[in-house]
Amino acid sequence: MTGASNGHGVEDNMRSWSTAATASGSSVEYWREAICEAIFELDFRSSDPLLSARLSQHDLGVLKVSDVAIGSAHQVVRSPQAAARDKLGRFNLNFIREGRWLVTHYGREIEVGPGELVLFDNRQPYSVKAQDGAVHFSAHLPVDWLRCWLPSPEDAVATPIRAGTPWHSLLTSTLHEIMQIRPEDEAVRAICVQQMGGALALSLGPLGQGQASAGRGVHRRILATIRERFCEHELDAAAVARTIQISPRYLHKILAQHGTTFLRELFTVRLDQAMAMLTNPLFAEIAVAEIGWRCGFCDPSHFSRRFKAQFGGSPGAFRNAPHAGDPLLH
């Protein structure tokens, strides 16, 4: 691309990009292309036509670490479409050195400032707003590699790592040293990768323990979304996950922690609603198959089998039995 350069050459595993050499008025477009080339697909927005920005990236083999400086107010957006197109699956650990970010990710809105870190899941959409310029380190972490160090990286996403928390200084100093030393020897780079993994395990691992209450909140949001959308015939775990801005994997993990599954919760809500309608006199003229359809079942026989397995009798039998008018579930 125009303007990109291997400022330190391939031999020392460094690449660099800068708006300094761009034509007047073209720096924002250049920078948008630069970060897509250096990192992954992102939408960069800034109203400053004379944007000043630079990026230096050190390739450690498995990992890449970038030193990024942007001199003006800006916004970076990872769209749902961009996340869906990316087949590699990566997390990004960002260490803010100067400036402040407002981050929207995983259904949360957080603010991070100088000396703080935050983990992004690039398989999911997010946005970052900076009211002024910002300087940060960004470590690009493959999913499979990160899972060798953290049992559930998703637990640490969009949770600020503040100065003073355990192992914070180890993690930040590791990032500093990698960017300053820029080891050329392959064996040394491998040791740096191991050091980075150990620092992540020590500093981010304990966050999973602190996410128990957050996990309960996510669980409530999952169930609430299922209750709101149970009548949609094509509803699946991925659709619910998108609604509350988490990954399908994390949705299944949260439900498993509560001893249940997505389909179990979905069919429970659908069948409870069907039971309420069948035993309510207001719906006496509505056919059993139509009630099943309204509750999300496309096939009447499937509805009947599920209903009988849940309640011990067919929908018709329950309709014909004497019942008090139960209110509809909401």
pLDDT category, 61, cuts 50, 70, 90?
Answer: confident
Strand-strand pairing, 53-59 and 116-121: unpaired
- Which pLDDT score is estimated for 45? 95
- Which pLDDT score is estimated for 327? 37
Q: Cα–Cα distance between 106 and 111 in angstroms, integer?
A: 14
Of the candidates 160, 158, 69, 70, the one whose C-alpha atom is nearest the C-alpha of residue 116 is 160
Rounded to an integer, the average pLDDT of 201-220 is: 70
Of the candidates 87, 84, 136, 89, the one whose C-alpha atom is nearest the C-alpha of residue 115 is 136
- Asked if residue 257 and residue 173 are part of one domain, the reply reads no
- Which pLDDT score is estimated for 325? 41
DSSP tag of 286 = S
Over the stretch 264-298, which tens digit does the pLDDT of each residue have? 999 999 998 899 899 888 889 999 999 999 999 99
State the DSSP string of 37-53.
HHT---EEE-S-TT--E
Q: Cα–Cα distance between 167 and 150 in angstroms, integer?
A: 15
> How many domains are there within the chain?
2
As a whole number, the mean pLDDT across the chain is 87
Q: Looking at this protein, which amino acid is placed at residue 242?
A: R
Over the stretch 24-60, which tens digit does the pLDDT of each residue have? 778 999 999 999 999 999 999 999 999 999 999 999 8
Q: Cα–Cα distance between 137 and 3 in angstroms, integer?
A: 22
Q: 17 is in which domain, residue-wise?
A: 10-210
Q: Strands of the chain (E only): list them.
A: 14-18, 43-45, 53-59, 64-70, 74-78, 90-98, 101-105, 108-112, 116-121, 126-130, 134-142
- Asked if residue 169 and residue 290 are part of one domain, the reply reads no
- Asked if residue 111 and residue 15 are part of one domain, the reply reads yes
- Asked if residue 296 and residue 203 are part of one domain, the reply reads no
Of the candidates 61, 242, 65, the one whose C-alpha atom is nearest the C-alpha of residue 138 is 65
In a domain, 325, yes or no: no
**Does the pLDDT at position 1 exceed 80?**
no
Q: Cα–Cα distance between 63 and 175 in angstroms, integer?
A: 12
% of the chain residues with pLDDT over 70: 90
pLDDT category, 218, cuts 50, 70, 90?
Answer: confident
Over the stretch 185-202, which tens digit does the pLDDT of each residue have? 777 888 889 999 999 989
Q: Are 72 and 46 in contact (CB under 8 A)?
A: yes
**Does the pLDDT at position 183 exceed 50?**
yes
**Does the pLDDT at position 172 exceed 80?**
yes
3-state secondary structure of 72: coil
Rounded to an integer, the average pLDDT of 3-19 is: 61
**Of 173, 195, 210, which marks where a domain is finished?**
210
**Does the pLDDT at position 155 exceed 70?**
yes
- Which pLDDT score is estimated for 13? 77
**Of 210, 242, 263, which marks where a domain is finished?**
210
- Asked if residue 303 and residue 263 are part of one domain, the reply reads yes
Over the stretch 70-85, which tens digit does the pLDDT of each residue have? 999 999 999 989 988 8
**Does the pLDDT at position 162 exceed 50?**
yes
- Asked if residue 297 and residue 202 are part of one domain, the reply reads no
Higher per-residue pLDDT: 300 or 152: 300
Q: How many CB atoms lie within 10 A of CB 330?
A: 7
3-state secondary structure of 74: strand
Helix (H) or strand (E) holding 185: none
- Which pLDDT score is estimated for 6? 35
In a domain, 25, yes or no: yes
- Which pLDDT score is estimated for 3? 42
- Asked if residue 139 and residue 108 are part of one domain, the reply reads yes
Q: Lowest mean pLDDT: which of 106-110, 156-160, 186-190, 239-243?
A: 186-190
pLDDT category, 209, cuts 50, 70, 90?
Answer: low
In a domain, 5, yes or no: no
Tokens 């620092």: give the residue: 199
pLDDT category, 222, cuts 50, 70, 90?
Answer: very high
Q: What is the dihedral of CA 140, 146, 150, 152, to 10 degrees?
A: 90
